[in-house]
């Protein structure tokens, strides 16, 4: 692989770092898919909720550290779907279940009376607050052993990597059209 990438102009040292980073990210992805921290928080708090419902509640609550400026707008089902990257029909179903369970409520928009917004009830706010407190207790305790310099270095680098990940699926096919065509041709020779 290193020879192929070198042929496309990618430095071998960069390839070594890319391989190491990919291994770390793959291990991290497998860990994150298990959602151990969220699952632990729900279990320890004795909450009869699953993670998708918790995700919707957090999307309704819309912490600015997670959703940026979008957290300041009124929250509709479409907003929740966009924040979570899920289908609007799935978001609607989860919201309906949360309303039935007393964690969320529908209300009329104060900006446009034709729109229906979704809010958390006191019960929903209490759940989100408790879960986030556990999450940041665990994360904060872990980061307590880090230096200020380590934290100040990691955060912008992770943000940069996240921005790249958000764009790679749309940028890569255009930017690497010739390289991908060459790799496809090589693959087709092997597939016969």
Q: Which long-range contacts (CB under 8 A, 24 or more apart) does 1-7 make?
A: 4/183
71-97 per-position pLDDT tens digit: 557 899 999 999 999 999 999 999 999
* 186, β-bridge pairs: none
Mean pLDDT of 4-13: 90
Rounded to 5°, the CA angle 15-17-21 comes to: 115
Q: How many other C-beta atoms lie within 10 A of the C-beta of residue 62?
A: 19
19-60 per-position pLDDT tens digit: 999 999 899 888 888 888 999 999 999 999 999 999 999 999
pLDDT of residue 31: 84
Residues 6+ apart with CB under 8 A from 3: none
Q: Which of 18, 4, 3, 2 is nearest to 179 (CA)?
A: 4
């Amino acid at each position: 692989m290193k020879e192929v990438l070198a042929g496309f102009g990618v430095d071998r040292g960069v390839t070594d770092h890319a391989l190491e980073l990919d291994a770390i990210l793959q291990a991290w992805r497998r860990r994150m898919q298990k959602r151990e921290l969220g699952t632990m928080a729900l279990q320890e708090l004795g909450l009869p909720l699953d993670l998708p419902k918790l995700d919707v509640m957090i999307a309704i609550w819309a912490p600015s550290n997670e959703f940026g400026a979008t957290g300041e707008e009124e929250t509709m089902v479409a907003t929740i779907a966009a924040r979570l990257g899920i289908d609007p029909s799935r978001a609607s179903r989860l919201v309906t279940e949360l309303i039935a369970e007393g964690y969320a409520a529908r209300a009329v928009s104060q900006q446009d009376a034709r729109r229906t917004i979704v809010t958390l009830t006191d019960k929903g706010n209490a759940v989100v607050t408790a879960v986030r407190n556990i999450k940041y207790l665990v994360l904060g305790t872990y980061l307590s052993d880090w230096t200020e310099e380590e934290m100040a270095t990691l955060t912008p680098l992770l943000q940069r990597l996240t921005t790249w990940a958000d764009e790679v699926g749309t940028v890569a096919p255009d930017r690497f059209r010739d390289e991908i065509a060459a790799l496809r041709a090589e693959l087709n020779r092997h597939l016969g």
